């Protein structure tokens, strides 16, 4: 039996199958290993390089000083077998490595409850005893994991099903330092007997012993649907306990015990939050290859001019392209996210209509549009590069806080075992289309003045949040962000109502600072709905006016009104005002701000 499962390449960068994520499949639940432990890691070539030097330089200057290049997530094809149990890749070099997790499993027939290591030892023993099978065959037949005790009994009785698949427990432990572990089930019975006499804040399971020397655990589910209906029993010492109290389990972790493990359901959203960096490709110095960049960097240290570099590179690039690279290198140093996006914003606004291989856009006439819109740009083709730099558990983390190293309460884990010293980061290139909209500065200023007091509370809450602290320079910056972000969501929901685009197939990229930048890019990429010009066609001024009018009209009412409309705090950390799933919230993967900082009052009036 094959030891492979199948997943989409875009899921490898993100919440579904990124490094450290749990992936559910008919063969069990697996955890994706670090990028440098994949078979693919040693076998890529130049065809796997991502050409976005602007993004590469930013990550080198801030967070990953030894970074050499960005690598595309591997693509592969499965064989033609219809049965997923027998899937094999056509290219075994382009595979992603994973391991079973949770590792504690029970048999639904005999109810034995053991660690994966113990299950494998038993399976290997009985297969060798009854089948004289080689180790490779024993391993293949163990996918998904099976009960060796039931197999042995069926062989002895010479009847019955030999293969009983094991079930992984759905309870796990996650820590705020990004770690994940099984619940220490072998110490659960001892803990349950003595924990009521202890302060749970001082619990250290390393100090607890097993219930007995020859522990033989069984996991049985009774008639009750809650935790009282699940019992752990040791057949050797006859100790028994239900799982009541499991949700309150918490204990210290980390070298200085400053982080805490908490119980979680393995499918919970809080188990895994990827830290992603997105970059809109700008056709300029990004076309200079890595070797030429290294040469230019060396010549700069020797004070060589662009004319020398032009000749030394044998006229491979123009002097303007070389100068663009030098300028982008100087400008990229220690850029924050808002500064990084400002270059994209200025490029689209100040460039005339463009038609390049990876970027095609056209400015639209907006005479008949609402005066709250300053620019409307139809983007027929774009390239969005996404790189995963790390991940957290229990709480998400803002990309600026991650790159700045300001991670006191939440500690991230990296996608490579080399952490910030890695030479490679994994990413994907997405090609798609979109609509770029900028808003009238005076209109936004009027909105801010009317709602200054209402928004101050949200600003104060954001400053007290580990996720959003320092995201906004002041209350004015926050107010602009809420306005632009809310309009973005309303337009995306209207595209769903009017044009059939699921919001999960759309994405937003917000351009908001404390000065004169207020815009949004709504886009979709290949592999999702609308990859053939459907979204870009909505940038036609007549169609867009109708789209905007309908979105604002729909925002006036919500199924949860008047409670929603007059709310003074709801959603993640109460960072939303008049916004809920009935009116302004969208699919989590479509929003880049965790469905926070929304208020349809800002638009509906």
In tens, the pLDDT along 567-586 reads: 888 887 788 889 999 999 99
Q: 193: pLDDT confidence band, cut at 50, 70 and 90?
A: low
Confidence (pLDDT) at 25: 87
Whether the per-residue pLDDT at 453 is higher than 80: the answer is: no
Confidence (pLDDT) at 495: 92
Confidence (pLDDT) at 530: 41
Share of the chain above pLDDT 90, in %: 43
In order, the DSSP letters of 7-63 are: --GGGGSSTTTSTT-EEEETTEEEEEPPGGGSGGGGS--GGGB---HHHHHHHHHTT
Beta strands, E only, 443-579: 507-512, 518-525
Decide if 280 contacts 384 (C-beta within 8 A). yes
User: Using CA atoms, how far apart are residues 23 and 6, in angstroms rounded to an integer?
Assistant: 10
Whether the per-residue pLDDT at 168 is higher than 80: the answer is: yes
Residues 312-319 have a mean pLDDT of 78
User: Using CA atoms, how far apart are residues 414 and 35, in angstroms rounded to an integer?
Assistant: 9
Decide if 435 contacts 425 (C-beta within 8 A). no
Beta-carbon count within 10 A of 256 CB: 7
Whether the per-residue pLDDT at 30 is higher than 90: the answer is: yes
Confidence (pLDDT) at 84: 62
In tens, the pLDDT along 122-139 reads: 999 998 888 766 666 778
How would you write 382-431 as a 3-class SS string? EEEEEEEEEEECCCCCCHHHHHHCCCCCCCCEECCCCHHHCCEEEEEEEE
Whether the per-residue pLDDT at 367 is higher than 60: the answer is: yes
Confidence (pLDDT) at 1: 44
Whether the per-residue pLDDT at 83 is higher than 70: the answer is: no
Residue linked to tokens 């009036």: 605
Taking each helix axis from N to C terminus, what angle separates 541-554 and 475-499, rounded to the nearest 10 degrees? 110
More confidently predicted of 103 and 221: 103
Alpha carbon 79 to its chain centroid, in Å, reads 28
Strand 69-72 to strand 424-439: parallel, antiparallel, or no bridges (unpaired)?
parallel
CA nearest neighbour of 56 among 425, 376, 347, 400: 425
Residues 464-484 have a mean pLDDT of 80
Confidence (pLDDT) at 428: 93
Decide if 455 contacts 486 (C-beta within 8 A). no
Beta strands, E only, 281-372: 354-355, 360-363
Question: In whole numbers, what is the pLDDT of the chain averaged over residues?
Answer: 85
What letter would DSSP give residue 73? P
In the chain, where are the structural domains located?
A: 104-167, 176-272, 440-605
584, burial (CB in 10 Å: exposed 0-12, middle 13-18, buried 19+): buried
Confidence (pLDDT) at 200: 46
User: Using CA atoms, how far apart are residues 78 and 62, in angstroms rounded to an integer?
Assistant: 38
Beta-carbon count within 10 A of 307 CB: 10
In tens, the pLDDT along 544-563 reads: 999 999 999 999 999 999 99
Decide if 219 contacts 195 (C-beta within 8 A). no
For residue 591, the SS3 value is: coil
**H-helix or E-strand spanning residue 311:** helix 306-312
pTM for the model stands at 0.86
In tens, the pLDDT along 244-298 reads: 888 888 877 766 677 888 999 999 989 999 999 999 998 864 467 767 877 888 8
Residue 99 tokens read as: 């391991």
More confidently predicted of 303 and 413: 413
Whether the per-residue pLDDT at 529 is higher than 50: the answer is: no
User: Using CA atoms, how far apart are residues 383 and 327, in angstroms rounded to an integer?
Assistant: 22
Residues 508-512 have a mean pLDDT of 96
Partner residues linked to 20 by β-bridges: none
Lowest mean pLDDT among 196-200, 267-271, 347-351, 487-491: 196-200
In tens, the pLDDT along 196-209 reads: 545 444 455 656 78
Residue linked to tokens 């009209």: 553
More confidently predicted of 90 and 360: 360
Residue 20 tokens read as: 């450290």
For residue 345, the SS3 value is: helix
Residue linked to tokens 């884990």: 413
For residue 574, the SS3 value is: helix
């Amino acid at each position: 039996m094959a030891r492979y499962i199948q997943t989409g390449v875009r899921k490898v960068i993100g919440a579904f199958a990124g490094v450290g994520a749990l992936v559910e499949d008919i063969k069990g639940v697996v955890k994706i290993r670090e990028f440098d432990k994949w078979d693919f890691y040693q076998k890529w070539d130049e065809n796997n390089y991502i050409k976005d030097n602007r993004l590469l330089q930013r990550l080198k200057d801030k967070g990953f000083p030894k970074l050499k290049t960005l690598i595309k997530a591997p693509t592969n094809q499965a064989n033609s077998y219809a049965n997923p149990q027998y899937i094999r890749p056509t290219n075994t070099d382009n595979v992603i490595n994973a391991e079973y997790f949770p590792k504690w499993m029970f048999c639904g027939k005999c109810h034995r409850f053991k660690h994966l290591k113990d299950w494998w030892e038993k399976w290997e023993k009985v297969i060798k005893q009854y089948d004289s099978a080689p180790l490779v065959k024993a391993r293949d037949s163990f996918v998904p994991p099976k009960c060796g005790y039931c197999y042995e009994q069926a062989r002895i009785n010479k009847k019955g099903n030999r293969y009983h698949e094991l079930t992984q427990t759905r309870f796990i432990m996650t820590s705020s330092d990004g770690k994940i572990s099984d619940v220490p089930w072998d110490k659960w019975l001892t803990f349950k007997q003595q924990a009521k006499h202890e302060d749970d804040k001082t619990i250290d399971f390393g100090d607890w012993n097993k219930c007995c020397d020859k522990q033989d655990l069984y996991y049985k589910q009774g008639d009750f649907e809650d935790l009282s209906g699940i019992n752990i029993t040791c057949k050797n010492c006859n100790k028994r306990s239900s799982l009541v109290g499991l949700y309150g389990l918490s204990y210290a972790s980390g070298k200085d015990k400053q982080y805490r493990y908490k119980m979680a359901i393995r499918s919970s959203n809080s188990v895994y939050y990827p830290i992603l960096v997105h970059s809109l490709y700008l056709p300029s110095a990004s076309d200079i290859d890595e070797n030429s960049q290294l040469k230019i960097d060396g010549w700069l240290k020797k004070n060589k001019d662009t004319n020398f570099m032009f000749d030394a590179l044998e006229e491979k690039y123009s002097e303007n392209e070389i100068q663009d690279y030098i300028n982008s290198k100087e400008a990229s140093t220690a850029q924050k996210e808002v500064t990084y996006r400002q270059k994209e914003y200025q490029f689209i606004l100040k460039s005339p209509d463009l038609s390049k291989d990876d970027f095609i856009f056209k400015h639209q006439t907006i005479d008949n549009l609402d005066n709250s819109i300053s620019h409307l740009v139809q983007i027929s083709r774009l390239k969005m590069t996404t790189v995963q730099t790390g991940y957290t558990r229990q709480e998400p983390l803002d990309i600026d806080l991650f790159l700045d190293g300001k991670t006191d309460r939440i500690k991230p884990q990296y996608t490579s075992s080399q952490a910030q010293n890695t030479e490679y980061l994994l990413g994907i290139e997405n090609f798609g289309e979109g609509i770029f909209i900028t808003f009238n500065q005076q209109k936004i200023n009027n909105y801010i003045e009317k709602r200054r007091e209402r928004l101050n509370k949200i600003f104060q809450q954001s400053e007290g949040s580990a996720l959003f602290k320092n995201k906004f320079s002041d209350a004015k910056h926050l107010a602009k962000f809420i306005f632009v972000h809310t309009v973005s969501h309303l337009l995306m929901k209207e595209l769903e109502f009017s044009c059939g685009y699921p919001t999960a197939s759309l994405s937003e990229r917000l351009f908001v600072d404390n000065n004169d930048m207020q815009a949004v890019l709504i886009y979709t990429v290949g592999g999702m709905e609308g990859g053939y010009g459907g979204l870009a066609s909505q940038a036609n001024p007549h169609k867009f006016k109708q789209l905007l009018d309908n979105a604002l009209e729909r925002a006036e009412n919500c199924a949860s009104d008047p409670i929603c409309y007059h709310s003074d705090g709801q959603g993640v950390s109460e960072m939303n005002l008049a916004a809920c799933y009935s009116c302004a919230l969208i699919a989590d993967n479509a929003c880049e701000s965790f469905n926070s900082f929304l208020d349809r009052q800002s638009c509906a009036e």
